[in-house]
Amino acid sequence: MSHRLPDRDEPWIMRTYAGHSTAAKSNELYRSNLSKGQTGLSIAFDLPTQTGYDPDDELAHGEVGKVGVPVAHRGDMIALLDGIPLDRMNTSMTINATAAWLLALYVVAAEEQGVPQEALSGTTQNDIIKEFLARGTYAFPPEPSMRLIADMIAYAVEHVPKWNPVNICSYHLQEAGATPVQEIAYAMSNAIAVLDAARRRVPAELVPAVFGRISFFVNAGVRFIEEHAKLRAMSILWEELGRERYGVEDPKALRFRYGVQVNSLGLTESQPENNVQRIVLEALAVTLGRDARARALQLPAWNEALGLPRPWDQQWSLRIQQVLAYETDLLEYPDVFEGSKVMDGLVAELLDGARAEMAAVAEHGGAVAGVDYMKAALVDSHRERLRRIESGEQVVVGLNRFAESEPSPLLEGPGGGILTVDPRVEVEQRAAIERWRAERDSAAAEAALAELARVARAPEENIMPATIAAARAGVTTGEWSRALRAAFGEFRAPTGVGEAAAALAGNDELAALRDEVERVSEALGRRVKILVGKPGLDGHSNGAEQIAVRARDAGMDVVYEGIRLTPAQIAASALQEGVHVVGLSILSGSHRELIPAVMAELARRDVDVPVVVGGIIPDADVELLRAAGVAAVYTPKDFDLTRIMRDVVALVAQWHGAGTPA
């Protein structure tokens, strides 16, 4: 084989994960991104849409239009895609619990453009297991969730044949601390669970087609050689799985196809300009070797650890892709790692580890039954990662080494280098949905919801036709989800923290902290008790979990209830549990609304305890939170959890009059 390709390869699909404020504003952004050379769409939905609440729901407060676009009904989807030809667009929707609903809205919006569903191409993420494990935007219990996925696969294979109804998403597993071995093993175990569920709902002759329609959505970290090996290992395992477990023979169907969003976990708040080179190296991990090259790529922006990126920040990331694809010679060669001893060795190592870990998941009953096992393993891995960073074993430039810096001109100017969503958006969206409900044919909507409720309770029927009919009838996102919640029940995923192992002994700082916790507990008469709460719809619980585990390791009693709590729930827990301090974690940008709301609920119940906040909090908002009565604010640059705990204990001692350390 020649060391050159006869023809330069076509570049991958270039996307930018985008959406905010309203459908109209996001449409404007999409059109501008496409005019800059972006070749596919990647829709970011806001948290209420992802978890199935309308903008006027109590749980949606503070979250509307924040981390993505609100799509509450057919009208929003039509506005979002206005002027974008859907027969020629390849659209990725990061949507999971409500994926069936959003696909239905997409199909209906296409109808409106005169495009039949057979012509649509793209993907819905639709991977619920990783929502239970890492991302938190689930809505229904595991079993009915798996049924919805299987229904979508069965429907899409027949009626929307170019659509990938599921992309198995290991991206968020790495964000939650997964090692490469865990990322591979849990993604494959997850795929097995999905395929096994789908296999029961389609005729046997369609199984290879179903297999061929499953794609993956992976992560790539900065250790880019090993990360590339990970993708090669995944394609080997995938082909093996197809042949052995599902009897697939068509080589095209056996190809491991994946899209990527490179790592956000490793992006730093301090010296954020360094994130640009991290992103470039991570992009190499998924493009360098032709045999395991990404089909679609989206890159985060340099300032993601600070807040929401602006259009200019996203343009920068798109330009990285374009330089890689069009300026360099990357696409001119066959696989550059063929015959590499290092690469083959790494792949073999990862395969061994992944097979062993897949066997462990299988022993726990597979990916659905094994959620608790995998969750606890991820919490442990993440804690180990943080420990290595705290101790300096793992170098993060600009954070735990080479931390001195000139002031960054990128952060100057009004807004501090990030996008802020106008709080009027939520008010307008509340009014808009009321108008929508008032103006639609309510009899048609009621009838569609009744039919949906019936089908939901008939597990042998496919949910999609009733869902598409409901989308046409003007039903809202919240109504669709409520009908299914009524049929399926509510669910809270495991937090993983209960099972997390105790910290290793021999850590002097932690030992000193324990002594201080003992002293303060003795003085207070009760063990220091902390409530760790996550208000709002943000499901990124990794930070809160690590805080909870460290607080326990420091000797505190920790009340942690998981994600998605209203301010009233948090305040009621603080009162009933008699905690000495409350710690709140928010990453979705809704802290400006939700933190003051929690403070007000605490005051209403006369709960007089200090409140500390952690999360992605822009500098400009720190003063605002302090003015609302928050005692301390921590951001990603505060990476030393033991030090945070020491502050918290000192705060408790001071607040409740337990003196100062001896």
Partner 1 sequence: MTSTIDGSEIGARLRAGDLGAAPLALNVLESSAPADRERSAALQRALSPAALGHEADGHLIGITGPPGAGKSSLLSELVAAWRRRERTVAVLAVDPSSKRTGGALLGDRARISFDPRDEGVLIRSTAAAGRLGGLAPATREAALALAAAFDVVVVETVGVGQSETDVAELADTVAVVVQPGSGDTLQFLKSGIMEVPDVLVVTKADLGDIALRARRDLSAALRSIGGRRTRVLAVSALPPASGIDELVEALDEHRARVDLPARRLRSRRAAALAEFGAEHGERGLRALGGARAAQRLLDAADPGADAPTLVRLLERQAAIA
Region for residue 604 given its phi and psi (left: phi exceeds 0; alpha: psi -120 to 50; beta: otherwise): alpha
580 is catalytic: no
Q: How far is CA 571 from the centre of its chain?
A: 27
User: Binding of partner 1 at residue 495 (CB under 8 A)?
Assistant: yes
Distances (CA, A) of 212 to 163, 207, 248, 445, 461: 11, 9, 9, 36, 24
User: Binding of partner 1 at residue 660 (CB under 8 A)?
Assistant: no
Residue 95 has which token pair? 């949507």
**Residues numbered 586-625 forming contacts with partner 1, rule: CB under 8 A:** 608-609
Q: Between 135 and 534, whose beta carbon lies closer to partner 1?
A: 534
User: Binding of partner 1 at residue 519 (CB under 8 A)?
Assistant: no
Instruction: Give the closest residue to 450 by CA, choosing from 472, 470, 436.
Output: 470
540 is catalytic: yes
With a CB cutoff of 8 Å and minimum separation 6, the contacts of 461 are 455
Query: How far is 309 from 125, CA to CA, in rounded Å?
Result: 22
Annotated active-site residue in 25, 375, 382, 534:
534
Residue 335 has which token pair? 């696989």
Query: How far is 544 from 558, CA to CA, in rounded Å?
Result: 11
Q: Between 307 and 562, whose beta carbon lies closer to partner 1?
A: 562
**Residues numbered 405-434 forming contacts with partner 1, rule: CB under 8 A:** none
How many beta carbons lie within 10 A of that of residue 407, not counting itself? 7
Residue from the set 48, 562, 583, 618 that interacts with partner 1 by CB under 8 A: 562
Q: How many residues bind partner 1 (CB under 8 A)?
A: 47
Residue from the set 376, 554, 587, 630 that interacts with partner 1 by CB under 8 A: 554
**Type of residue found at 624:** L
Residue from the set 185, 559, 617, 651 that interacts with partner 1 by CB under 8 A: 559
Residue from the set 524, 622, 624, 650 that interacts with partner 1 by CB under 8 A: 524
Annotated active-site residue in 46, 56, 313, 538:
538
At 529, phi and psi to the nearest 5? -125, 130
User: Binding of partner 1 at residue 58 (CB under 8 A)?
Assistant: no
Q: How far is the CB of 461 from partner 1 (least distance, A)?
A: 18
Which residues on neighbouring strands pair with residue 92, listed in sequence order? 42, 123
Residue 354 has which token pair? 């992944």
538 is catalytic: yes
Asked whether the beta carbons of 121 and 106 are under 8 A apart, the reply is no
Q: Using CB atoms within 10 A of its CB, is residue 457 exposed (0-12), middle (13-18) or buried (19+)?
A: exposed
Q: How far is the CB of 559 from partner 1 (least distance, A)?
A: 5
Q: How far is the CB of 59 from partner 1 (least distance, A)?
A: 12
Residue from the set 100, 377, 517, 586 that interacts with partner 1 by CB under 8 A: 517
DSSP 135: I
Residue 76 has which token pair? 């929003």
Query: How far is 236 from 206, CA to CA, in rounded Å?
Result: 23
Stretches 43-51, 270-278, 358-366, 518-526: which one binds partner 1 (CB under 8 A)? 518-526
Contact pattern for partner 1 over residues 114 through 143, marking x by CB under 8 A: ---------------------------x--
Stretches 313-321, 341-349, 524-532, 589-597: which one binds partner 1 (CB under 8 A)? 524-532
Distances (CA, A) of 438 to 22, 57, 208, 430, 433: 20, 17, 46, 13, 9
Q: Between 15 and 564, whose beta carbon lies closer to partner 1?
A: 564
Instruction: Give the closest residue to 551 by CA, choosing from 538, 560, 562.
Output: 560
Q: Between 289 and 562, whose beta carbon lies closer to partner 1?
A: 562
Instruction: Give the closest residue to 148 by CA, choosing from 102, 91, 86.
Output: 102
341 is catalytic: no
Query: How far is 367 from 349, CA to CA, in rounded Å?
Result: 23
Q: Between 64 and 497, whose beta carbon lies closer to partner 1?
A: 497
User: Binding of partner 1 at residue 357 (CB under 8 A)?
Assistant: no
**Residues numbered 460-489 forming contacts with partner 1, rule: CB under 8 A:** 486-489
Residue from the set 290, 385, 388, 527 that interacts with partner 1 by CB under 8 A: 527
**Type of residue found at 16:** T
Beta strand segments in 266-381, E: 296-298
Residue from the set 352, 576, 659, 661 that interacts with partner 1 by CB under 8 A: 576
Nearest-5° Cα angle at 384, 398 to 349: 100
Q: Between 60 and 325, whose beta carbon lies closer to partner 1?
A: 60
Stretches 106-114, 424-432, 467-475, 567-575: which one binds partner 1 (CB under 8 A)? 567-575
Residue from the set 108, 475, 549, 584 that interacts with partner 1 by CB under 8 A: 549
Q: How far is the CB of 526 from partner 1 (least distance, A)?
A: 5
Asked whether the beta carbons of 542 and 382 are under 8 A apart, the reply is yes
Residue from the set 113, 340, 566, 654 that interacts with partner 1 by CB under 8 A: 566
Q: Whose structure tokens read 């798109």? A: 318
Q: Between 394 and 654, whose beta carbon lies closer to partner 1?
A: 654
Q: How far is the CB of 528 from partner 1 (least distance, A)?
A: 8
Distances (CA, A) of 320 to 277, 283, 631: 10, 9, 41
Q: How far is the CB of 122 from partner 1 (least distance, A)?
A: 33
With a CB cutoff of 8 Å and minimum separation 6, the contacts of 117 are 107, 110, 111, 159, 160
Query: How far is 300 from 44, CA to CA, in rounded Å?
Result: 12
Q: Between 276 and 568, whose beta carbon lies closer to partner 1?
A: 568
User: Binding of partner 1 at residue 490 (CB under 8 A)?
Assistant: yes
Q: Between 108 and 571, whose beta carbon lies closer to partner 1?
A: 571
Q: How far is the CB of 141 from partner 1 (least distance, A)?
A: 8
Binding site for partner 1 (CB under 8 A): 141, 486-490, 492, 495, 497-498, 514, 517, 523-527, 548-549, 551-562, 566, 568-569, 571-573, 575-578, 580, 608-609, 655-657
Catalytic positions, please? 17, 171-172, 534, 538, 540
